[in-house]
Amino acid sequence: MSEPRELDVIVFGATGFTGRLVAQYLAERYGVDGDVRWAMAGRSQDKLETVRNEIGAPANTPLIVADSDDEGSLREMATRARCVLTTVGPYTWYGEKLLAAAAATGTDYVDLCGEVLWMREMISKYHEQAAETGARIVHSTGFDSIPFDHGVLFAQQAAEERFGSACQRVRTRVTDMRGTMSGGTAASGKATMQAVQADPTLFAPLIDPFSLSEGFEGPAQPDGDHVIEEELMGGWVAPFFMAPINTKNIHRSNTLMGHRYGEDFQYDEMFFAGPGDAGRQLADMMAAMASGMGGEGGPEPGEGPSKEEREAGGYELLVIGSHPDGGEVRAKVTGDKDPGYGSTSKIIAEAALCLIDDRPDTAGGIWTPAPALGAALFPRLIERAGMTFDLVDDA
């Protein structure tokens, strides 16, 4: 992207539940006449005007009408901004035309996608074109997968400083999570399962931890699919429903960073339920939730928690890195507000701004968050997005 653009960021899907929260965050944090030039986009001018009024955005906040099925409107929209931020999913159904427009026009792009099969297809179709045009396309810039991808990056930076090299084995344990699953996450799970049902050959890449790390087949990975009593945590751990996407993204990050964590890197994520009988019961409940992803039930896209529920939410992760020399690094990652909406809306907004303002040297292509945004994202997450990253050990 060499020519100047009219806008910095366009929020596509601004009339949806999550997109509305992103627009509200930008309005409250940056206004419309300040350093960040942003706009709201969606299918309906009337709905955009209503949301603009309801969130208290300035009356001169630009509104752009575009449709996920109208290639011309998407391309025109993409050419107006340095970065398009899209919350319109499931991406399997509604995402390709916008990503293609971004790749073709050299426009940066961020999304909330956790749909492995679609992401794999987009890498195959558009990575080379994006590299040629300079478009930096970054998937999974919400709760999946930035707290996890950047949590591992934070722990590995500490390991490199402490031991001179990265940890070969990293475990992330979700020690607290207060909030509801987003309707978009539920819909994405359903879209992925429908794709597998239509083409059973897609099941193999769905379960392959390296399916987003094209050209690399790594070592066997830990099994995070069963409830176990874990000595490391002193209690019961259970499968975590976001692990199937986060683990693949983190392995892709390692690949894109030239195997900074090593070609023998092993990683898993699980939910820590606690000790004793109560911990076992909670672990069984979390395992049932994880196995039900992609089934019927759950919130619908566009639905979400009340402001009070979002404010009461939060999460905490413990990232444990084990070094081949026997040392250990422990890092705690926290986020205020519920993960699926309140936290995600701030994270993706700051990811977009970090990409266009703080990472000029990131080349065109399809990226995961850690290699695309690097350590430059940490100050934004800590100072503006309500997150913390701290070392919690003296090993």
Q: What is the pLDDT of residue 231?
A: 96
The pLDDT tens digits of the residues spanning 100-148 come to 999 999 999 999 999 999 999 999 999 999 999 999 999 999 999 999 9
Query: For tokens 């751990």, what's the residue?
Result: 237
Give the Cβ contact number of residue 124 at 10 Å. Answer: 11
Whether 80 contacts 73, CB under 8 Å:
no
Number of residues that make up the chain: 395
The pLDDT value given to residue 206 = 87
Tokens coding 182 = 């987003």
Give the pLDDT confidence score for residue 296 in this predicted structure. Answer: 56
pLDDT for 199 equals 82
What is the 3-state secondary structure of the chain? Answer: CCCCCCEEEEEECCCCHHHHHHHHHHHHHHCCCCCCCEEEEECCHHHHHHHHHHCCCCCCCCEEECCCCCHHHHHHHHCCEEEEEECCCCHHHHCHHHHHHHHHHCCEEEECCCCHHHHHHHHHHHHHHHHHHCCEEECCCECCEHHHHHHHHHHHHHHHHHHCCCCCEEEEEEEEEECCCCHHHHHHHHHHHHHHHHCHHHHHHHHCCCCCCCCCCCCCCCCCCCCEEECCCCEEEEECCCHHHHHHHHHHHHHHCCCCCCCCCEEEEEEEEECHHHHHHHHHHHHHHHHCCCCCCCCCCCCCCCHHHHHHCEEEEEEEEECCCCCEEEEEEEEECCHHHHHHHHHHHHHHHHHHHHCCCCCCEEECHHHHHHHHHHHHHHHCCCEEEEECCCC
At residue 290 the predicted structure's pLDDT band, cuts being 50, 70 and 90, is confident
Distance CA 264, CA 169 (A): 9
Residue-level pLDDT at 165? 98
363 and 356 in contact (C-beta within 8 Å)?
no
pLDDT on residue 205? 85
Name residues whose C-beta falls within 8 Å of residue 204's C-beta, 6 or more positions apart in sequence.
none
- Cα(203)–Cα(313) distance, integer angstroms: 34
User: pLDDT band at 395, cuts 50/70/90?
Assistant: very low
Question: Under 8 Å CB-to-CB from 181, ≥6 apart: which residues?
Answer: 241, 298, 299, 340
% of the chain beyond a pLDDT of 70: 95
User: Model's pTM, two decimal places?
Assistant: 0.95
Burial of 207 (C-beta count, 10 Å sphere; 0-12/13-18/19+): exposed
Res. 207: pLDDT tops 80: yes
pLDDT score recorded for residue 148: 99
Amino acid present at 156: Q
pLDDT digits (tens, 9 = 90+) for 12-60: 999 999 999 999 999 999 998 889 999 999 999 999 999 999 999 999 9
Block residue for tokens 């099925």: 69
pLDDT score at 2: 58
Q: State the Cα–Cα distance between residues 206 and 201, nearest whole angstrom.
A: 9
Contact yes or no for 251/244 (Cβ under 8 A): no
Q: Please state, rounded to an integer, the average pLDDT across all residues of the chain.
A: 94
Is 294 a residue whose pLDDT tops 80?
no
pLDDT of residue 3: 74
The pLDDT-based confidence of 376 (bands split at 50, 70, 90) is very high
355-383 mean pLDDT: 99
Name the nearest CA neighbour of 245 among 192, 195, 315, 310. Answer: 192
Quickly name the fold that domain 7-138 has: Rossmann fold (3.40.50)
Average of per-residue pLDDT across 177-181: 81
pLDDT at position 327 is: 96
Place of tokens 């006449």: 33
d(CA 51, CA 41): 11
Share of the chain above pLDDT 90, in %: 84
